[in-house]
Structures are given as structure tokens and as C-alpha cells.
Amino acid sequence: MNDTFIEKLLEKENGRQNSVINLIASENYVSNDVMNAVGSVLMNKYAEGYPGKRYYGGNSVIDEIELLCQKRALDLFGLSPDDWSVNVQAHSGSPANMASLMALAPIGATIMGMELSSGGHLTHGHSASATGKIWNQVSYGVSKETEVLDYDEIARIAMQAKPAVIIAGYTAYPRQVDWKRFRQIADQCGAYLMADISHISGLIAGGVYPSPFAYADVVTTTTHKMLRGPRGALIFSRNDERKLSKKIDSAVFPGIQGGPHMHSITGIAVALYETTLPEYHTYTQTVVDTARALADILAGLGWRIVSGGTDSHMILIDTWMNGRGVSGKRASELLEERGIIVNMNTIPFDTRAPSDPSGIRIGTGAIVTRGATIDGMQELAKKIDGILRG
């Protein structure tokens, strides 16, 4: 590389990634095949529009790649193209959610999503996000006693607010979601049901977490977490008289984006192929098994695990514990100093500021990609415990 400054920084970051224990729940490691696809000649092509309907010439091969990516996305979740469509062009999860809401809810309408402190995402209608400025968010949370979803309370809020869209699926909620119950609630109040499975799509594909596809109208996911692809997103929508796929396609382009990142879409296609390999199911099961083991061991060492455990790759730990521990920010700093990377995170009913909350969020997806097993969780938990207790 002629740019020696960037070359040195790339080498530095590569060294960092190879020397740490990465417990960030929203990160993972791509294969060399995915990386090569993203850094390929596809970087050079502009492909504004959709297959067969491009605004630039020279896109015959591009069309084949995008159609293949769409087919692999539908096949991954066992979806028939007669019943479902998928848009693969959203640059990431936030624009995917924005485009979906644009297709489902008129400007100014009410949408319903989980409050941020309980595990919801900014793009589910939080006031700091454009989604909270364009639409009116009515939020729901978790039970104060159990720290899990209270579906009767969610139904009560929905019937009172009558939202256009109910969003289920979260960024920091470690337990299983009852998709069927959400469908019933949405039907009762006349709302679309949108499932954001960005964190758990790989677990669903691997058969170790319940699927929302029998119940949701629209399903969104990023591709760079448990699917181990490049940064991008998928938007699935039902094919019926509501023509949701057409509305979503228009919302993505020309609604909020120009040309798609075809190099990323190619990398996504490769990652989707890799999920069909036999070892992928084993990978997802190991991810969940290690997360549960790590949560149980940390609880045994005296740390409070939010909601009492996990059903996914994700664990929320209350490090503050009424002042007996350390803040989430300080916990993250202490762990990073010793080569363990996590992110600070709010916990339900947090009394501390989001900039220095009461907890941390950890995940096992990345470490299992690099070979971690249940056998290593005892040592990892003891290391975390020793660092945080000083």
C-alpha cells in the first residue's frame, strides 16, 4: 500500500483485534471469503435502482448478484418468494428501520417500540433519532419485578395508543420474544407488526431462537452481527394485497438512499452461503450455550444478571448493584485495560445517566467464532470478576 499512514493504522487495528477478547454483542468476525468479496471489483460499480430497472448501464452481472443475494436471504429462513420479498440494499440497520417505518406509517403517526433503557433501539422511535422526530413514539418496557416483557401491559398500552406499527425485537434484551403474542396484540389494535431481529437473526437461522416470520408483517435485520457478514441490512416483507415490498423498495430508493453498496451486498451473499454450511448450526448453539454458562458463572460469583439469565448470545450485567460495584463506563474501561472489550449499557429502570450507566452488555458471538467453548467460560468469568472487583 502506497499510503503508509493508513497501512500502519490497518496493521495496528488488526493487531488490536487479534490481541483482545471481544465480548461486544453487536460485533463479529467475517471470513476471508466475505472480506475478499467486499474488497472486490464490485467497489467500482454504480447500480442505482433495482434488478432489471437500473439507471446506469453495465449492470447485468450486478443484477445476478443482487438476485442471488435475495434468494439466499429467503432460503435462509425457509421463505417462499410467493409469500415474501426481501430488499438487500439498505446500507445498515438504522436506514432499514427508517425505510420500513416510512412504508408502514404516515408521517406524524404513532409507532410503538421499547424504551431505550429497557433494551430498545434508537430507531424504534426514540426522541434522539429521526424516527422519534418523524413519528410519535409510545414506548413500552419490561416488568420491574422480572425485567422481562409484560405482554398484558404491552397490550394495554397498545389498545390505548392504537399505533400504526408495533416494533418487537431489541438491541439489549437477552430473553426470548413471544412473537405470537405480539401478533395478537397488533391485530387487536389494528397495527402492523415489525420485527427487528438484528441481534438474533443468526440464532433464528441456526434454529436456536424462535422465528417471527409466521407472525410479522415486516422483518428487519443487520447482517454484521450473528450472520457474520459485512455491514448491511435485509428487509423482509409479506407479499399480499398491501404491496409492502413495493412501498419498502421505494422507501429505500429513492426514499433515503441512492445507489446500493454492491460490494457489501456481494459480501452479504457470501455470508448467507456460509450460514448453509453444517457447522453454522453448531456455531449458533455454542453461542447460546456459552452465553448461558457465562451468565450462570458470573451470577455465582455475585454479579446480578439482568432478567436472571439469557436465551440468546447476550448478557446484561448490573455492575453498579446499588453502589456496591462500578459504573458501566468504568467497568468497560477497566476491562479494556486488561484486553476484554465490552460496551457500557443502561439497564431497566436505570438511575444513572446513559453516558455512564449501571451496567455492561456482553455477547459471545465473536469469541465463539474464534473458537471459544463452554469449557473456557469459567476462566473468563473469573477474569472479569477479578478485574471489576480490583
Active-site residues, by number, are: 46, 48, 196, 222, 225, 231
Q: Which of 156, 165, 155, 159 is nearest to 110 (CA)?
A: 165
According to DSSP, the residues that pair with 236 across neighbouring strands are 86, 219
Q: Which residues contact 71 (CB under 8 A, 6 or more apart)?
A: 81
Query: Are 74 and 80 a contacting pair, CB within 8 Å?
Result: yes
Query: Are 311 and 108 a contacting pair, CB within 8 Å?
Result: no
Longest dimension (CA), the chain: 64
Question: In sequence order, what E strands does the chain have?
Answer: 21-22, 49-50, 53-54, 84-87, 110-114, 136-140, 165-168, 192-196, 218-222, 233-238, 304-305, 314-318, 340-341, 343-345, 359-363
CB burial class (10 A; 0-12, 13-18, 19+) of residue 45?
middle
How far is 174 from 254, CA to CA, in rounded Å? 35
Residue type at 272 in one-letter notation:
L
> What CA–CA distances, in Å, run from 234 to 65, 69, 115, 335?
15, 10, 23, 33
**Residue entry with cell 467497568:** 331
Query: Are 327 and 319 a contacting pair, CB within 8 Å?
Result: yes
Backbone angles phi, psi at 170, to 5 degrees: -145, 170
Query: Are 240 and 92 a contacting pair, CB within 8 Å?
Result: no
**Residue entry with cell 428487509:** 235
How far is 21 from 340, CA to CA, in rounded Å? 5
Query: Are 220 and 195 a contacting pair, CB within 8 Å?
Result: yes
Q: Which of 256, 133, 63 is nearest to 247 (CA)?
A: 256
Across the beta sheet with 314-318, what order do the strands follow? 304-305, 314-318, 359-363, 343-345
